[in-house]
Structure 1
């Protein structure tokens, strides 16, 4: 069997629990086209992500475009939501079903049927763009050791880089599971001699070294080893 990624020559309180409500068209799983990933893996036109530290203890991630009346995308450890702007006397308020998010400055209050969170801005990060990552539709990364997985935007192909780039290979993939509503996709290798699994799930993810916020948790399994990290969809 060919060993995947041979050395190359050449990233407490569950008050917000649930699932993503956004949907995307069915994926293209054959031919030379890349699939359409769930939209909640992307920033939705926002230029940055914001991480919030909340009490009771929980981390949230949000993204909202600067255009007036834009929806707010909200990620917790258990799912993702797309909230619509609502009328409020001061600050900004967004709602969807039983979830509401109100913020003013660096403070926010999140209310659901399960309870209330009081949050403070922890960190902001500029969203990755196609200009910064040419040809990449989604990128996941993790630490210790550093690894990266980059999905091509125009074909079902992933570039895997392990051990800080010491091992790198570009491989075809196939979709083995997809749940648009939950924002979950599982990819498997398109080659029998180089197996791997890449799991992508919408949810608040903070880089375990920098604390930077991302809208997806990513797990890469290669040769029995698991690599965990965060990721983001990159729109054109």
Structure 2
């Protein structure tokens, strides 16, 4: 199977880069599988578009002329690329200089702190704007996905083995550990929605694959996360954490 099939396609409006998510299976079987995992008290499998792969860091890129902000994670044989609209995986191509990753007419050519993104509709000239070390199980033991946000500070940590989450709000003053159920598992779009599992209080966590930047530090992440809890809605960024 080609990488393009596994991660969806890219379209451009002007020079706007639009990317699809991970699609190993259709959304209906994925939702059924996730529900079964929850009922069996096992943590579900999340779309790989939410993870860095084997990459040890995320890179943030500021691009023009469309004022796009991209996030990349470089693996041994491919590059994971996130825009504001989704994710894409590009296999490595052979070039004389720099590092080029390409699938069809979509490519990312990295030369040090500069990069050129090419699409059928145009080009983006990008400059490296920041980096962040990818979270690991050493950083977050027992956690398969971690998200955080600011003003007020909050975080959500999903356990790697059971469908439970630990939620901290109000700068850590309130902490809850709760079970969850999966209401949406869309591998093609890289989207997951979790909700409270027949217990109070009600909450919802929505996760979407796509470039995200911490509102205070500007650090890059591969997922945008929205937490709804206590009548409030919180926005932040997250990352899948592989074993």
Distance in 1 (alpha carbons) for counterparts of 2:59 and 2:84:
14
Deviation sequence 1:39-76 (CA, Å, 0-9, x none): 010000000000001002010000012x3xx1100000
Contact 1:214 1:230 in 2 (8 A): yes
1:31 aligns with 2:32: no
Q: Runs in 1 of length 4+ with deviation above 6 angstroms?
A: none
Query: Within 5 Å, which residues of 2 pair with 1:80-229?
Result: 80-229=87-236
Count of aligned pairs = 222
Aligned residue number for residue 52 of structure 1? 61
Contact 1:13 1:58 in 2 (8 A): no
Displacement, 1:14? Answer: 6.1
Displacement, 1:13? Answer: 7.4
Q: Which moved more, 1:13-22 or 1:114-123?
A: 13-22
Contact 1:22 1:81 in 2 (8 A): no
| Partner SS state of residue 37, structure 1 | coil
TM-score, normalised by the number of residues in structure 2: 0.88
Distance in 2 (alpha carbons) for counterparts of 1:145 and 1:231:
16
1:42 aligns with 2:36: no
| Partner SS state of residue 49, structure 2 | helix
Distance in 2 (alpha carbons) for counterparts of 1:108 and 1:97:
18
Q: Which moved more, 1:42-51 or 1:190-199?
A: 190-199
Displacement, 1:96? Answer: 1.9
Distance in 2 (alpha carbons) for counterparts of 1:223 and 1:96:
44
Distance in 2 (alpha carbons) for counterparts of 1:202 and 1:14:
20
Unaligned runs of 5+ in 2: 1-12
Aligned residue number for residue 4 of structure 1? none
Distance in 2 (alpha carbons) for counterparts of 1:185 and 1:16:
22
Distance in 2 (alpha carbons) for counterparts of 1:63 and 1:207:
17
Unaligned runs of 5+ in 1: 1-11
Do the aligned partners of residues 190 and 32 (structure 1) sit closer, same or farther apart at CA in structure 2, a change above 3 Å counting? same
Displacement, 1:193? Answer: 2.1
Identify, as 1 or 2, the structure richer in helix: 2
Deviation sequence 1:167-226 (CA, Å, 0-9, x none): 110000000011101110000101332110000000000101001000000000012210
Root-mean-square deviation (Å): 1.6
